[in-house]
Homo-oligomer: A and B are copies of this chain.
Amino acid sequence: MEAKNVPHVRELLEGSPKNWGKWGKDDEVGSLNYLTSAEVLRGIATVKQGKTFTLQVRMGDPGGDPVWPGRQSAKRMNVMDRGHYLCGKGPRFPGQYEYADDVMFMYLQGSTQYDALGHVWYDDQIWNGYDADTTIGGLAKASVLPIGERGVVGRGILIDMARHRGKEVLGPGETFTHVNLLEAAAKQGVVIEKRDILIVRTGWIGSFYKREHAEFYKDFKEPGLTYSPELVQWFQDMEIPNLVTDTMANEVTVDPVSGVELPLHNALMRNLGVALTEIAQLDPLAEDCAKDGQWTFLYAAAPLKIVGGSGAPVNPIVIK
């Protein structure tokens, strides 16, 4: 795939639509601007049953978390617990209560997470045209902080591609397009509406917990959406504010046509300002939707407000 004839992502995306400036030159949240009060109320209107789901994967699992190769699982460590009191090391306060306390070392993109819009780029410019130099030492522009400040609330819709294809999990490198999403939606009996928060299940992250990790990572190639000008235009026309998937990168690892790696990060996030949410745990939600037939719901998520973060962990909530 690193063959000489793989084009620069700039060439691949020549003429691809851009929303830079659409929400002002100081914008840092992009397509999340589509989520107006009206959209919040549209999300609220879907709630019928009072059921709730949370979409984060477990974090700091001693058995390892699913992380992009090269990153490490979060490591949590106690700095105070009952053991300290057993051996006389626990601090004593008036009233003699005891407590546990802990710290964590983590990759900010090492769990279910929102990408900052400035997380990925080309041609020295990130979302909205900010200079890529602003990423140095921490994102001064288009970090995850403004996304955390704003929050993401609207109507969510789940498209279960794995179920649509009759599989427990899509295969490594297996692709699908917006047309496939529409087919799956039709089969589910739902319509993807403008400004829906689009949640797509492949079964991929769930499979991490069902097999040997070494096997999961071997010849690592995720399934997912694949680039085409039509797909990008569809996202633009549909004004999709946020794409959520149960994969680490929201798209197939390498575009099988051009050989470019992760082109949708640039086409959708850098250029259109679509928020990307990765590594979501969608299996229980999908199971329930298949059972009750309700594939739309209120989606409410707010990543941690990490100053300068290229991303931040999040535990999204779905209310049906």
Could you tell me if A60 and B308 are in contact, using CB atoms closer than 8 angstroms? yes
Residues 55-85 of A at the B interface (beta carbon under 8 Å): 56-62, 71-72, 74-85
Contacts of A98 in B (CB 8 A): 120-122, 132
Interface pick from A101-109, A164-172, A173-181, A190-198: A101-109
A25-61 interface with B by 8 A CB criterion: 36-41, 44, 47, 49-54, 56-61
CA distance A12 to B97 in the complex (A): 11
A199-207, A236-244, A311-319 - the one binding chain B: A311-319
In the assembled complex, which residues on chain B have CB atoms less than 8 Å from the CB atom of A118?
100
- Specify which chain B residues have a CB less than 8 angstroms from the CB of A255 in the assembled complex: 95
A289 CB-CB contact with B under 8 Å: no
Q: Are A315 and B148 in contact (CB under 8 A)?
A: yes
Q: Does A286 contact B (CB under 8 A)?
A: no
Q: Given A122-B96, A138-B78, are A56 and B259 neighbors across the interface (CB < 8 Å)?
A: no
CA distance A25 to B5 in the complex (A): 38
- Chain B CB count within 10 A is highest, among A50, A100, A111, A136, for A100
Say yes or no: is A230 at the interface (Cβ < 8 Å to chain B).
Answer: no
When C-beta atoms are compared, the residue in chain B nearest to A118 turns out to be B100
Known contacts: A44-B319, A62-B307. The answer to whether A81 contacts B135 by CB under 8 A is: yes
Q: Are B9 and A137 in contact (CB under 8 A)?
A: no
A135 and B306 contact, CB distance less than 8 A: no
Pick from B9, B96, B310: contact of A8, CB under 8 Å: B96
Within the assembled complex, what's the spacing in Å between the Cα atoms of A82 and B255? Answer: 24
- Minimum CB distance partner of A13 in chain B: B95
A77 close to B103 (CB less than 8 A): yes
A87 touches B136 (CB 8 A): yes
Complex-state Cα separation, A51 to B38, whole angstroms: 9
A2 contacts partner chain B, Cβ-Cβ < 8 Å: yes
Query: A307: which B residues are within 8 A, CB to CB?
Result: 58-62, 76
Q: Known: A50-B37, A304-B111. Contact between A95 and B261, CB under 8 A?
A: yes
A272 at interface (Cβ–Cβ under 8 A)? no
Task: Give the CA-CA distance A36 to B298 in the complex, in Å.
Answer: 17
Most buried by B among A58, A60, A313: A60
> Which A residues form the contact surface with B (CB < 8 A)?
1-2, 6-10, 12, 36-41, 44, 47, 49-54, 56-62, 71-72, 74-87, 89, 93-109, 111, 116, 118-122, 124, 131-140, 145, 148-151, 153, 254-255, 258-263, 265-266, 298, 300-311, 313-317, 319
Give me 8 other A-B pairs in contact (C-beta within 8 A), A58-B305, A103-B105 excluded. Answer: A54-B148, A54-B302, A60-B307, A89-B140, A94-B259, A95-B259, A100-B116, A100-B118
What are 8 A-B pairs with beta-carbon distances under 8 A? A81-B138, A82-B135, A89-B136, A97-B262, A101-B108, A102-B310, A300-B317, A317-B317
